[in-house]
Amino acid sequence: MLIGIDGNEANVKEKVGVSIYTQRHLEYFKKKAYKNLKFCIFLKKRPNDTLPTSTKFFFYKTVKGNIFWSQIFLPFQLILNKITRRSVDVFFAPAHYAPRYVFSPFVVTIHDLSYFYYPEEFLKQDLFKLKHWTSYSLKNAKKIIAVSKTTKKDIIKFYSIPEEKIEVIYNGFEKKVENQKVKGKSNIESRLNREKIGNYILYVGTLQPRKNIPALIEAFRRFHQQYPTFKLIITGRKGWMYSEIFAKVKELGYEQYIIFAGFVSDTELIDLYRYAFCFVMPSLYEGFGIPVLEAMSFGCPVISSFTSSLPEVGGESCLYFDPNDPSDLYEKLVLLKENHPLRVKLIRRGKKRVGFFSWEKSTQATLDLLTLVAQGY
């Protein structure tokens, strides 16, 4: 059996989101490769040194091309493979787009459909591709992987795909490890040393509208009036329409109480999780919500909005609030502050919850599905 895979998402230096998803699958597939189970990884460029090294049964095929690579250049290569009788038995597209012509059954993974809910966050050309290329991929796929039940419901809602065609396979999770020592004191370490440990609320994520950060700021303002020693640390890159976030902080006169840390290293982020009073995920929509699991893995209690996939990820290990009601978040912050046994219980449950998500389970489930599709089931 030969399984073909679009490996481009993993062929980058800095991996986040879908890149990590693809990388973990390639690493697992390499371990499982043998003479009767081979993998051909198709790439636009030569594999970089972060990808698993090739073997006799796990190897790369570089297909040159740029624009419309998955729609023109890759299909042409697949035609050549078929002519030379080296066609794949099943093709795996880990990120929304399958080749326009595959000539074998294929499986595609859909991570979220946020572009339907927040189209303003995408460039017009990207939005067109997401809507229409995803549509083609879904309708022609033999099977579809959704990373959450929420994503599955959205696929059915927006693309009218039969439910039985979609398999829910949750993302895996691995705890961040301190892989580098920062020389001297970083900005984060300096700030932590200036503040009493545990006297800050943490947010981790991109600054954009669907992350609902203004609601977090409003809830923090009320909480800070009651507990004036606390601060709010917001980490993450600037995304889309972030100016109102900074404007709101300035309007409140809270520049000294709300710290925008920007992008931080893994080492700094680990410290932020470890010493935070709690982590808040205020998002209006998430396809999965990795920061929730990250916080739990470092013993940081989580308060999350009750929306999209977040209750699936957090289970009974979070406090939940209505993302459209900052007062509800404020009340949950106060509850966590005044109820120490509850905080201890959430930390304990969170560490247990993290174990439910593993890359080994996720990648093996994907391999099982690919094998079944290749065998005609």
Q: What is the pLDDT of residues 153-162, one digit of tens each?
A: 999 999 999 9
> pTM for the full model?
0.85
CB 260 within 8 A of CB 203: no
Q: CA 289 to CA 352: how far, in whole Å?
A: 17
Mean pLDDT of the chain: 90
pLDDT classification of 321: cutoffs 50, 70, 90: very high
Closest of 362, 294, 309, 292 to residue 113, by C-alpha: 309
CA distance linking residue 142 with residue 93, whole number of Å: 12
pLDDT in the model for residue 208: 85
- Compare 197 and 366 and report the one with higher pLDDT: 366
pLDDT, average across residues 116-128? 87
Mean pLDDT of 332-355: 96
Please check the confidence at residue 179 and state whether its pLDDT lies above 80: no
Tokens 């794949």 sit on residue? 88
Q: Which domains does the chain have, with CATH numbers?
A: 2-172+358-374 (3.40.50.2000), 187-354 (3.40.50.2000)
* pLDDT bracket for residue 70 (50, 70, 90): confident
- Express as a percent the part of the chain with pLDDT over 90: 69
**Nearest residue to 92 via CA among 41, 36, 34, 154:** 41
Better pLDDT: 351 or 182: 351
Q: In this predicted structure, what is the pLDDT of residue 184? A: 44
